[in-house]
Structure 1
Amino acid sequence: MSDRFYRIPIERLFKWIINEEENGKIFGLYKENLFTPDKNDPFRMKRYGRLLETPIGVAAGPQTQLAHNIIASWLCGARYIELKTVQTLDEIEVTKPCIDMEDEGYNCEWSQELKVRDSFDEYLNAWILIHVLKHKFGWNTEEPGFIFNMSVGYNLEGILKPNVQWFFEKMNDCKDELDEKLERLIPLYPDIKNLNIPYHISDNITLSTMHGCPPDEIEKIGKYLIEERKLHTAIKLN
């Protein structure tokens, strides 16, 4: 298995989707097996004041760091999408893959496959293309119906570093980056000009801490995320 992630530009990703759809598939998933939301589904719910078309989703991991994996999860019915944890040490060398589930489960901490800025770009690509697919499939609703849940780690010192602070700001307001990507997609999908894709990607977060993280450190991070960043906050107690 390669220890490298190779990113795909948003135009190429959309072309991949359209070309495969002509053959009844998207990312190798047969369209008849994909989830189709219905306003009368009894399992629809609210989380953080937002509609979730299903109560299921995917947990943070390498698979939620690339746009096409996020989109594939959404196509299969995932609506609560915990994005891969970002941390300030985005060039650290650790054993890959960071999660191995072939037999027993192993997890290598401090993993970061992409730089923080590249992770954000992948999340933005997925955010845009999910809205495009909702429109293309005729699933037009007032609310997105899904949540992108940020995940951040692993200590307060790292969270306060400039690259993680930049990530927070962009997940709150990505107008410039989103508009630039929409311009690139207009030749491929002209109707994108009529879509109202929010500039605000996420107002909620999951804190991931190291095993053995002191309780007072967890408390300080939680207070920062809630009081300073005003984020709906969940805390993983590893």
Structure 2
Amino acid sequence: MAAPDEVTEDGYNREAQVNVLAQMLLLKETFPLLERAAERNGEARVVQHSSSARMIPSKGKLVRDYFAKTSAEHPLPKPFAGDIPGGTGMFNAGPAWQRYGQTKLANAMLSELFREKLAEKSSKIKSLVAAPGLAATELQVTTNRSFHTMRAWEANLIFTIAGQGPRDGSLPLTRACLHPDACSGDFYEPKHLTSYGPPVAIATGGTFKSPKAEKAVISDRETKEMMWRVLAEACGGEIF
């Protein structure tokens, strides 16, 4: 979360690769097993793990160059490039948080894109997404201690106001993974301010219950097709 602007051996921004691209490669490699499981059991599920940080990107836009290969000769574009010495804190939404927001928006948007693609194939695999809300875990500790992009006072403030423990934070994901009535296209997150409380569906079957919630997830067709191509380039072919 809000990690430094580093490039992996594969040539991608580290956060983009860890939070999105590597997961998509795993999905590509395991997709035949998911299809077999769906035929045997009547369903299988792919659940993305997003965050309220999906709302950070301006106008809900995913930027191709952030998920494409990068290097010293081809660095990331603004506002994603570089790190500010000493960090800037979370509330300043510096480059590190812009990068993180892109990955969490991608998780949410790709879940909807997968729902559409799977429906075209009449697949029994369900595509869902969940967001944990403000769950106090080692994630904040690591970001504060190692990356200096989340101040201790910032974490203390927001988690005192609307934080919850990791067990409660796991409930949206657990519901998406295991609830018998969960449908493809469902999006679960905490009930109160997207931060805490029991999990509720802000979208059911791909239909969002409010324009604000939809705006922070649904991208235009051009963006969806762009991300599908980017994933194919990174994973050595289309995921499915």
Relative CO higher for 1 or 2, CA cutoff 8 Å, sep ≥ 6?
2
The TM-score normalised by the length of structure 1 is: 0.30
